[in-house]
Structure 1
């Protein structure tokens, strides 16, 4: 799957997460989190799992986490990916 444009999902409110994605020539994931020491590895694992399922290996992802639950991270990332690929069937592909 190809990332064709920049996209954003989420907010910077407490317990939420803002994810920005853009096209790239490589996989580049940057995580800024208020709970990075405790959950940074889990955030990265979840992101890589979703990207792997969708065969995305060329993308830049900027994550600003304010303590979001895993389900929120997943929803925000998938939303940003849908917006960046314009593929409305992505929800079905990730199941």
Structure 2
């Protein structure tokens, strides 16, 4: 999957995460989180694994976390990736399980 435009998913509400994707080189993750010391490595791992499962190779991700669970992180990354790749139908949600 190729990211062709900047896209966003998620909110800044408690227990959510805002994900912004844009074209980049490799997988670059910029994370801001109130729980980064405790869970930063896990959040980055979930973001990276979700992108890899979707086949996204060249992307810059800006993630602003407000205590989201892994399943929320996966859903937001997938939604942002599909929007950034301009895929508007035939979503493969099974890939993020």
When normalised by structure 1's length, the TM-score is 0.90
Which ranges of structure 1 fall in alignment gaps of 5 or more residues?
none
Q: Give how far 1:27 is off.
A: 2.1
**Contact 1:82 / 1:90 at 8 angstroms: preserved in 2?**
no
2:60 and 2:77 map into 1 onto residues whose CA distance is 12
Cα displacement string for residues 15-62 of structure 1 (whole angstroms, at most 9, x for unaligned residues)? 111000001133211010011111111111111111111221210000
RMSD between aligned alpha carbons?
1.4
Which ranges of structure 2 fall in alignment gaps of 5 or more residues?
none
- Runs of 4+ in structure 1 deviating by more than 4 angstroms, as ranges, are none
1:94 and 1:86 map into 2 onto residues whose CA distance is 18
**Contact 1:78 / 1:90 at 8 angstroms: preserved in 2?**
no
Aligned pair count reads: 95
When normalised by structure 2's length, the TM-score is 0.88
